[in-house]
């Protein structure tokens, strides 16, 4: 694994920092956040628009591309009039040749940035030998990736393991199993299906009746406000946002919605009819809202009391985005889930999702109870193994934490400088951060303003700007992005 990592690190290409216009305080080769001094006042150097988006600024050739898309593609995305052409490192360029610093990383997907040479080589060699087999047959890559996911979880903490612990392999079991899917939505669908089956099995054991008895009522699923778990009918049913749900009602029955971090409500929310509880340890789409550690422990305890399966959706917050393997890796083991789902960064943009579950959960899933045609393909798993091998390298993790520390300090300055606009506390941790705004019209404006100045950001929920750059982002890129954000906030502050 480490050999792959060393080779990949040699091929990593990053733009020169001197081209970023940041306040650099160290040598050109330095990458540590400690080499960057904190500014004493907000930057105002990016108040002018450099990447205009008004209709008059769109060249005919670009308009032709946009018109073709509008004519043939389902209009379910509200997109700016930009056509992306290529990417390299933390940067992308549109067909007009305009450069953007990507602080959205494909919605927390491109953990290693764009155009990574190591990833391209794995894609080339694997695709040229075996692209697809279906799950009718074994191939060499799925088992390697599954093993890596489980052994890293055992060593770094999660799914019931405290950091540094391991369970002895006995009777051919590793203590956990993995199911590969094609996306985060599919991973969550799989997790919900497993939990439904567990619920029926546990009801049957408790009542002495067959699991398929129509009287079985252990089918309820609990989710939480502002959570986001996907857009297919099952995942959408536990994504409690009326904007997403209302056009597609009725959804699956038996879903109850609670509030994150409301411990007192758990006894009434999670009951004997509950088969599953699904929650994001750090909500992504809903606003970068973090679950309290003690609340997670109380939730775990309540699930154990009623025999409910606890699912952590770590599709956006997992795989080192917080600086740890899982967002729950640092939570005591008595606050861990039965199932964790992951997807976004696992293959750096190639579609893959994964469901990790404890053995006592996996044992109910037998041949034919779940499946997929494309999930866990040779190419997806080879890429996933390559990416995860590099992300888990100790030096790489250390660099994430250094850069995260610098980002946190820069974001904290914003809350001090712009108290009329921003909440007093920065949300999230690591490289999943949220700036909360007091005026809900401002996040969208800041995202647009930053894009017109060459930095790509995202909104989160109705009141936050989401910051989820590539995990190999440098402090120089952080400094530049923050300078642009400061300039945008200065404009708002002067209105």
Q: What is the pLDDT of residues 397-434, one digit of tens each?
A: 999 999 999 999 999 999 999 999 999 999 999 999 99
The closest alpha carbon to 464, from 411, 416, 417, 413, belongs to 411
Separation of alpha carbons 417 and 314, rounded Å: 32
- The SS3 assignment for 46 reads coil
Low-confidence winner among 172-181, 320-329, 404-413 (lowest mean pLDDT): 172-181
pLDDT surpasses 70 at 120: yes
Separation of alpha carbons 93 and 454, rounded Å: 10
- What confidence score (pLDDT) does residue 174 get? 80
CB-based contact 348:315 (threshold 8 Å): no
- What confidence score (pLDDT) does residue 167 get? 62
pLDDT surpasses 80 at 27: no
Q: Tell me the pTM.
A: 0.91
pLDDT surpasses 50 at 24: no
For residues 24 and 120, which has the higher predicted lDDT (pLDDT)? 120
Q: What is the largest CA-CA distance in the chain?
A: 72
pLDDT surpasses 60 at 13: no
- What confidence score (pLDDT) does residue 23 get? 33
pLDDT surpasses 60 at 12: no
pLDDT band at 172 (very low <50, low <70, confident <90, very high): low
Q: In what order do the strands lie in the sheet with 464-467?
A: 427-429, 432-436, 464-467, 458-460
Backbone angles phi, psi at 356, to 5 degrees: -105, 135
**Which domains are assigned to the chain?**
60-115+399-494 (3.90.1150.10), 123-392 (3.40.640.10)
pLDDT surpasses 90 at 473: yes
In the chain, what percentage of residues exceed pLDDT 90? 89
In the chain, what percentage of residues exceed pLDDT 70? 91
Mean of all residue pLDDT scores within the chain? 91
CB-based contact 401:17 (threshold 8 Å): no
Q: pLDDT digit string (tens) for 346-366? A: 999 999 999 999 999 999 999
pLDDT band at 1 (very low <50, low <70, confident <90, very high): very low
Q: How far is CA 316 from the centre of its chain?
A: 1
Q: Given 3-state DSSP classes, what are the helix, strand and coil percentages for the chain, each rounded to the nearest 5?
A: 40, 15, 45
For helices 117-129 and 2-11, give the axis angle rounded to 10 degrees: 120
pLDDT surpasses 70 at 4: no
């Amino acid at each position: 694994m480490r050999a792959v990592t060393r080779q990949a690190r040699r091929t990593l290409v990053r733009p020169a920092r001197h081209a970023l216009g940041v306040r650099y305080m160290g040598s050109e080769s330095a990458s540590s956040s400690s080499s960057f001094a904190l500014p004493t006042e907000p930057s105002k150097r990016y108040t002018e628009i450099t990447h205009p988006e008004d209709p008059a600024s769109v060249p005919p050739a670009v308009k032709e591309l946009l018109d073709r898309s509008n004519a043939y593609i389902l209009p379910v995305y509200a997109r700016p009039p930009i056509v992306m052409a290529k990417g390299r490192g933390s940067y992308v360029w549109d067909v007009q040749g305009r450069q953007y610093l990507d602080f959205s990383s494909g919605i927390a997907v491109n953990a290693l940035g764009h155009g990574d040479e190591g990833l391209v080589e794995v894609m080339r060699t694997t695709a040229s030998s075996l692209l697809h087999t279906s799950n009718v047959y074994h191939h060499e890559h799925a088992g390697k990736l599954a093993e890596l996911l489980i052994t890293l979880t055992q060593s770094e903490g999660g799914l019931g393991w405290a950091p540094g612990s391991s369970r002895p392999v006995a009777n051919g079991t590793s203590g956990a199993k993995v199911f590969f899917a094609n996306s985060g939505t599919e991973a969550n669908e799989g997790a919900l299906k497993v939990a439904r089956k567990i619920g029926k099995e546990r009801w049957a054991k408790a009542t002495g009746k067959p699991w398929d008895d129509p009287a079985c009522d252990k089918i309820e699923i609990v989710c939480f406000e502002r959570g986001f778990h996907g857009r297919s009918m099952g995942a959408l049913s536990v994504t409690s946002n009326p904007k997403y749900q209302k056009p597609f009602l009725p959804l699956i029955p038996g879903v109850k919605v609670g509030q994150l971090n409301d411990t007192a409500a758990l006894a009434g929310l999670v009951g004997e009819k509950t088969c599953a509880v699904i929650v994001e340890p750090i909500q992504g789409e809903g606003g970068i809202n973090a679950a309290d550690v003690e609340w997670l422990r109380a939730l775990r305890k309540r699930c154990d009391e009623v025999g409910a399966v606890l699912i952590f959706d770590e599709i956006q917050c997992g795989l080192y985005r917080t600086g740890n393997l899982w967002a729950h890796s640092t939570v005591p083991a008595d606050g861990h889930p039965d199932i964790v789902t992951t997807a976004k960064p696992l293959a750096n943009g190639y579609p893959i999702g994964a469901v990790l579950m404890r053995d006592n959960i996996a044992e109910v899933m037998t041949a034919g109870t779940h499946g997929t045609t494309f999930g866990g393909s040779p190419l997806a798993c080879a890429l996933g193994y390559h990416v995860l091998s590099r992300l888990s390298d100790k030096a790489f993790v250390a660099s994430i934490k250094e850069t995260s520390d610098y980002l946190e300090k820069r974001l904290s300055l914003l809350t001090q400088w712009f108290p009329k606009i921003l909440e007093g506390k920065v949300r999230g941790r690591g490289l999943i951060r949220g700036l909360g705004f007091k005026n809900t019209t401002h996040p969208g404006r800041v995202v647009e303003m930053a894009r017109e100045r060459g930095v790509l950001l995202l909104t989160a929920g109705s009141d936050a700007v989401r910051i989820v750059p590539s995990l190999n982002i440098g402090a120089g890129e952080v400094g530049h992005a923050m300078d642009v954000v400061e300039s945008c906030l200065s404009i708002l502050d002067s209105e």
